[in-house]
Amino acid sequence: MDCTEALRARRSVRKFKKGVKIPSEHLRLLLEAAMMAPSAVNSRPWEFFIAESDEAKGALMAAHPACRMLETASLAIVVVGRPDLQPNFDFWPQDCAAATENILLQATALGYGSCWCGCYPARPRTDEVCKALGTNGVPVSIVAIGVPDEQPAAKGFFDPDRVRFMR
């Protein structure tokens, strides 16, 4: 699947085939894709937490009730911002969002479904997810990944009314 196909095939999947294990080589590809995202002055202000066990996914669901899809997802990748790695500017939220999008697109290209659950800047959600992870970083997103057990319709579309040319 090329980039154009992956962009148009990506969906927010909330129902997964339970009990499917993601191979370690696919997890590595997902994490490599995340770390290939652009970041301000290449500061790479992120770290990634992987929740595979029912216990770990349960802790995230308790911290972030909108992540109920983790009950059937194979795993979750939590993208955590590290503002301390960008001491002179604050582009880490955008950088972490780019890493999140790369995870979503790589998951699609590998044939998995995924769903982006936002954390930052919603407090106390970020505080609860920090506790579940045991980190001082800032959780930006939780990405559920697994084999889809649904085929949601596309919600994105091109809208020429949202385009302004500056010529």
For β-strands 138-146 and 46-51, DSSP reports them as unpaired
Spans of all domains in the chain: 13-150
Please name the residues in contact with 47: beta carbons below 8 A apart, sequence gap of 6 or more: 80, 82, 135, 137
Domain 13-150 fold is NADH Oxidase (3.40.109)
The predicted pLDDT at position 89 comes to 87
Percent of the chain residues topping a pLDDT of 70 = 100
Longest C-alpha distance within the chain, in Å?
Answer: 55
Q: In degrees rounded to 5, what are phi and psi of residue 22?
A: -85, 125
Beta strands in the chain (DSSP E): 46-51, 75-81, 113-118, 138-146
The predicted pLDDT at position 87 comes to 87
CB 95 within 8 A of CB 37: yes
pLDDT for 55-84, tens place per residue? Answer: 999 999 999 999 999 999 999 999 999 999
Nearest alpha carbon to residue 46 among 74, 79, 68: 79
pLDDT band at 11 (very low <50, low <70, confident <90, very high): very high
Percent of the chain residues topping a pLDDT of 90 = 97
**DSSP for residue 16:** B
